[in-house]
Amino acid sequence: MSCFEGTTAIVTGAGGGMGLAIAGDLLAAGAAVTMIDLKPPPDDPAARHPKAAYVEGDVTDDGFVADAISATFERCERLDYLVNAAGVLWFDRDRSLVDIDLDLWDRVVDINLKSMVHTCRHAVPLMQKSGPGKPSSGGAMVHIASIQALRGDSAPQDAYQAAKAGVIALSKSLAVQFAGDGIRSNALLPGGALTPMQARWDADPAARQSAAAGVPLGRLGTARDMANATLFLLSDKAAFITGTELIVDGGRTALP
């Protein structure tokens, strides 16, 4: 039996990239998964899986998020896992705070950070209701941040970086607040990865090769790399891991 058999998960940003890969792996491992995204369902087996429910909507809308999470609990009668993978990285508009349009700043922060507030505030009480006696003792959450939260950049995306730093801080707070319920909370920090968010590399192979050359393991990451790490953090193999960050960047941040 899979370690996720009989459990229920919610994955935001599941219409593509990391979120889709994570949702697909959870489904393959036996979980029922609600996949949430603003985009229509992808042409992917995960979206058609019998244990999958795909919900279109905006995770910055608290009412929509509340309804989607409540419907999941009513359908599955429990909630075990939450993965916050929704996010945007707008290179062409997100820039130094000196220059950025402040309405854009608010939108980036709403999508990358405040959406996590919406999902967690509605998911945690249902995870508490689900209680012990399941494969995962109290439940687990993984929130996708970024190595950009740990460093500056000569080509800054200040709204993105600030929001992702907030994800890390909020994940730690959740870990401490709900440890008594057996609910774990961790952040995943991807480095450069070949996902739709980094579609700029599709049109510029030279830039992609240059980025890969800056990674000690000699390549960029993939959605599969991030899904593998996320399922580890959700699983009982990480039962004593909470309130921390797992960097998945091929060694990029280990460089001086």
* Mean pLDDT of all residues in 6-26: 97
Contact call for residues 8 and 81 (beta carbons, < 8 A): yes
**Residue 149 forms part of a structural domain:** yes
Q: What local confidence, expressed as pLDDT, does residue 60 receive?
A: 98
d(CA 82, CA 79): 8
d(CA 49, CA 45): 6
**Residue 255 forms part of a structural domain:** no
Contact call for residues 158 and 203 (beta carbons, < 8 A): no
Annotated catalytic residue: which of 54, 81, 160, 178? Answer: 160
Would you call 54 a catalytic residue per the annotation?
no
d(CA 196, CA 193): 9
Sheet of 245-248: strands edge to edge?
A: 52-56, 32-37, 8-12, 81-84, 140-144, 184-190, 245-248
Encode pLDDT of 27-50 as tens digits. Answer: 999 999 999 999 999 999 999 999
* CATH number of the domain encompassing residue 82: 3.40.50.720
**Residue 84 forms part of a structural domain:** yes
**Which among 29, 32, 35 has a CA at the least distance from the CA of 4?**
29
**Residue 163 forms part of a structural domain:** yes
**Residue 209 forms part of a structural domain:** yes
DSSP 71-101: HHHHHHS---EEEE------TTT---TTTS-
**Residue 15 forms part of a structural domain:** yes
Contact residues for 81 (Cβ-Cβ < 8 A; gap 6+): 4, 7, 8, 9, 10, 26, 31, 136, 139, 140, 141, 142, 234
Q: What local confidence, expressed as pLDDT, does residue 195 receive?
A: 81
**Residue 79 forms part of a structural domain:** yes
On the 0-12 / 13-18 / 19+ scale of CB atoms within 10 A, 98 is exposed
Residue 228, Cβ neighbours under 10 Å: how many? 14
* Mean pLDDT of all residues in 8-28: 97
More confident residue, 68 or 154: 68
* Mean pLDDT of all residues in 156-184: 97
d(CA 43, CA 52): 13
Amino acid present at 225: D
As a residue count, the chain comes to: 256
Inform me whether the pLDDT recorded for 78 exceeds 90. Answer: yes
Number of separate helices (H) and strands (E) present in the chain: 7, 9
**Residue 235 forms part of a structural domain:** yes
Q: Which domain holds residue 32?
A: 8-250
Encode pLDDT of 52-62 as tens digits. Answer: 999 999 999 99
Inform me whether the pLDDT recorded for 204 exceeds 90. Answer: no
Counted domains in the chain: 1
